[in-house]
Homo-oligomer: A and B are copies of this chain.
Amino acid sequence: MKLAVVTGNPHKVKEVAAYFAGILEVEHVPFESPECRHEDVGVIAEEKARYAWEALRRPLIVDDTGFYVTALNGFPGPYAAYVQDTIGNEGILKLVDGIEDRSAYFETAIAFVRGGVTRIFRGRIEGVLVQPRGSEGFGYDPIFEVGGKTLAEIPLADKSQISHRARALRAFGEWLEADSMADDRVRPDDNS
């Protein structure tokens, strides 16, 4: 199976290709699905994937990532990118100023479509909000601490082992391996 990674972001494709090296052929398809509003990144990824499937009709994945701050009722959630571009890390820290609960998590959902059947795989990483440290990564990485280090203090190679996207990819990879051992055919009635 040749897997289309449907995204505008070539960095995502590299991460997927690195993960499946020797197992799966991966191809970047820069197709733009409209991105609908929902608080669950799984639903967003699924809708984008279905849209892409209608246009492309080939095995593909689409992902979506959210950033959820507990004390802010999950804000910024699926709007992580827009919020990063407007109020940024400074805004997030201002919002939790004086609040004790600093817990937050990233969640990535990967939607995989083959033969019209969609499956969702999720990966999550839990941490706490801190003052910015480190220069690796991007976005919320400098203010998100896991096990004593911010994601911006963890080299990319190590981050790629523990990140929300890595965990979602692993869940997908494990399912794919089990599925291909069980039955290599496409099963359109297997819509869970």
- In the assembly, what is the distance between CA of A37 and CA of B73, in Å? 21
Chain A residues 71 to 99 lying within 8 A of chain B, measured CB to CB, are 72-77, 79, 82-83, 85-87, 91, 94-95, 97
This protein's copies in its complex: 2
Residues of B within 8 A of A85 (CB): 73
Which of B39, B86, B97 is the one whose CB lies under 8 Å from A72? Answer: B86
- In the assembly, what is the distance between CA of A162 and CA of B86, in Å? 28
A93 to chain B, nearest CB (A): 11
- In the assembly, what is the distance between CA of A73 and CA of B91, in Å? 11
Which of B35, B91, B97 is the one whose CB lies under 8 Å from A37? Answer: B35
By a beta-carbon cutoff of 8 Å, the part of chain A in contact with chain B is 34-37, 39, 47, 72-77, 79, 82-83, 85-87, 91, 94-95, 97
